[in-house]
Amino acid sequence: MTAPLSCIIGLSGPRLKKSESVFLRDANPWGVILFARNVENPDQLRILTSDIRDAMGRNTLIFVDQEGGRVQRLRAPHWRNFPSGDDYAQLYRRNPVDGLRACYLGHRLIADDLRAVGITSDCAPVLDLPQPDADPIISDRALGSSVEDIVDMAHAAMAGLMSGGVAPVIKHIPGHGRATVDSHKSLPKIDADRETLEASDFLTFRQLNDAPMAMTAHAVYTHNSRSAVTISRKSLTELIRAAIGFDGLLMSDDLDMKALSGDLTRKTERALSAGCDIALQCSGRLADSVKVAKGSKTLSGRAFERAMIADNCAEHIAYFDRKPSQEEFDALMSRAVV
């Protein structure tokens, strides 16, 4: 098998266009990410994911953001709407055993939904530690308000996904919870000193540094660099690889976000040369995908090994009886309602 390019790209709509099929065949990006624009119903989605793999000639990882709460691309009426991270956290604070069990079951149900339509990786869980004066882009997506809560809940979420054959992507490393602006709109600058970050924001990621994949935060950590961590070799090396100890596959957040400026080809080159293993670009515009492919390189060395490990995380599915699990989940979440 020819090694794929070091990128994940989006698609334009609910059906694979001929031009996109040719691009997937010829460019061979490592993965594909889907959004609400790609989703109509289960039958349509199964056809789309099958067509993607047929075009690529391999069993590629197909990604989606299905956190629950505000961020889920598969929604009612064809799929159930899942709780936010904060919903699980509220239950956990009342009864840790119930909270962990609910978080595990919720993510196991998400994995069951995703695998049924051919999606094999979920960009979740969120490990960011939210701060009260931060932009609300994280807020209720977080799995708690303390390091200990988030770590416990994230372990349960990852276990639920992986037991269902869905590879998790922790985000947004090394921590987006202090950002006072939304990185979709502009570049956040986090001014906390290293000692503060080591004792808080970094801790959630350090305690889950064996995760198969992580997504970067488009943010500047001013004590370390004047550039966004995604394009800063100093930040990626010193903060993520060394301080946090993360050695899994590192992907950028979406290169289309306004936190980063410049041409997509150049942004791709900068992210990869800084130390990201994979460049993520989500617009679904073929012209953008071509630009990202031009800036990408063939996966090799340690990046290729990390990609193979991530692929393997979606290969194993434990037995799951959905009906009683769903009933137990509903009963647990009913206790979260005040």
Which position has the token pair 């962990």? 100
Closest by CA position to 112, among listed 319, 334, 310: 319
Residue 132: predicted pLDDT: 87
Domain 5-334 falls under CATH 3.20.20.300: yes
Between the CA of residue 179 and those of 74, 85, 133, 203, 221, what are the distances in Å? Answer: 27, 18, 9, 17, 10
Residue 9: predicted pLDDT: 98
Residue 337: predicted pLDDT: 65
Which position has the token pair 């206790």? 335
* Contact by Cβ (8 Å): 172, 128: yes
Residue 258: predicted pLDDT: 84
99/105 Cα distance (integer angstroms): 10
- Tell how far CA 308 is from the center of its chain: 17
| Residue 297 neighbours by CB under 8 Å, 6+ apart | 5, 6, 272
222/319 Cα distance (integer angstroms): 47
Closest by CA position to 229, among listed 297, 186, 175: 175
Question: What tokens were used for 33?
Answer: 């990410």
User: What is the residue extent of each domain of the chain?
Assistant: 5-334
Marked catalytic residue, from 43, 54, 184, 191: 184
Reply yes or no on whether 330 is catalytic.
no
Marked catalytic residue, from 51, 140, 253, 256: 253
| Residue 326 neighbours by CB under 8 Å, 6+ apart | 109
55/66 Cα distance (integer angstroms): 24
pLDDT along the chain (338 residues), means of 10: 92 98 98 98 98 97 98 97 96 97 98 98 97 89 96 98 98 93 87 95 97 96 95 97 98 91 94 98 97 98 97 94 98 83
Reply yes or no on whether 316 is catalytic.
no
Residue 61: predicted pLDDT: 98
- Tell how far CA 87 is from the center of its chain: 19
Residue 338: predicted pLDDT: 54
First to last CA, the chain: 54
77/46 Cα distance (integer angstroms): 17
